[in-house]
Amino acid sequence: MSKISQQNSTPGVNGISVIHTQAHASGLQQVPQLVPAGPGGGGKAVAPSKQSKKSSPMDRNSDEYRQRRERNNMAVKKSRLKSKQKAQDTLQRVNQLKEENERLEAKIKLLTKELSVLKDLFLEHAHNLADNVQSISTENTTADGDNAGQ
Amino acid sequence: MSKISQQNSTPGVNGISVIHTQAHASGLQQVPQLVPAGPGGGGKAVAPSKQSKKSSPMDRNSDEYRQRRERNNMAVKKSRLKSKQKAQDTLQRVNQLKEENERLEAKIKLLTKELSVLKDLFLEHAHNLADNVQSISTENTTADGDNAGQ
DNA sequence: GTAGATTGCGCAATAT
DNA sequence: TATATTGCGCAATCTA
């Protein structure tokens, strides 16, 4: 679901857009000619105040109105698409970070082990060498094979 | 998808929702009593076909209808809230992971350094001890030991 | 001051 | 059948 990329902006393309015309043309049911607000949409609805705001209540038949509505609808679609995209990206980011995390943890594990080994080796050798030194200095004969580490 | 719509939207402010009841109650402007599709919302509204779908076109005045609408509106709000919440959580998760990442990287850096130090130490000691051994065994003759860096 | 971007909201179709 | 999701349009804001 969803896609990538961003969307165009050519008018009238997208899904389909042939309706408005018909709508107001057919005069199916036209809300009260000049109503403050309608029920359906997103408007809220407080009181049926007249039509404050400007002298023109902006009638729904106006081309001007339809045009603006259409533009806004496009903008809304675009915005929502963008929003979804972003959400998806964020989700992707999470997975990306989780992977990176695992990688880092593995590395830590490795380094820790390496360190541990080296420490042991160090101690061991130190002792061995120390012993050697000791034996040699004391004229000891028994030799203990030394070796090169790592 | 998508169709026409028009009409609807109750005037008002935003922030509260008290409309529906009022809407049909106030009889502000009620869409044609029995319209196929709703105008405002996302309804479709293809042709003014009667009222297919069951025998009841479900008129907007019906209590039944209003009740269902209200329930759905609640569900929608709930769903959207949930959705937002999830998105936010995801975002938070990203930050969390980023922090953890930094922590891990720091640890790696530390371990790496520690390892390096230990290695040097190891080599140095090994050489020193070896030199000691050598000098002692050879009664001190040659000096200087080369070393490799790594 | 406008055009586009966001956002909350209700509707209806659809998924569960 | 009821709730949950989802696409969509409207209108109020916000922003550039």
B107-147: pLDDT as tens digits: 999 999 999 998 888 777 777 766 665 655 444 444 333 33
CB of B24 nearer than 7 A to strand C: no
Tell me how crowded residue B14 is: count the other CB atoms within 10 A of its CB: 10
Q: Does the pLDDT at position B95 exceed 90?
A: yes
Q: Are B8 and A39 an interchain contact pair (Cβ–Cβ within 8 Å)? A: yes
Task: Report the half-sphere exposure of B133 (CA within 13 A, side-chain side).
Answer: 21
Distances (CA, A) of A61 to A27, A35, A57, B23: 10, 11, 11, 22
Q: How far apart are CA A56 and CA B92, in angstroms?
A: 46
List chain B domain ranges.
1-60
Q: List pLDDT tens digits, range A92-147.
A: 999 999 999 999 999 999 999 999 998 888 777 777 766 665 655 444 444 333 33
- Best probe of the B interface among A14, A19, A76, by most B CBs < 10 A, is A19
Chain A residues within an 8 Å CB radius of B26: 48
Specify whether the CB–CB gap between A46 and B12 falls below 8 A: yes
How far, in Å, CA of A61 to CA of A127, rounded? 97
Q: Mean pLDDT across chain A, nearest whole number?
A: 63
At B129 the pLDDT is 63
Which residue is nearest nucleotide C6, judged by alpha carbon to C1' distance? A79
Is the confidence at residue B83, as pLDDT, over 50?
yes
C strand bases under 7 Å from protein CB? 3-13
Q: Give me the total of CB pairs closer than 8 Å, taking one residue from chain A and one from chain B.
A: 197
| C1'-nearest nucleotide to the CA of B17 | C9
Location of structure tokens 């000791």: A134
Of the candidates A61, A41, A65, the residue with the CA atom closest to the CA atom of residue B31: A41
pLDDT in tens, A50-79: 333 344 567 888 889 999 999 999 999 999
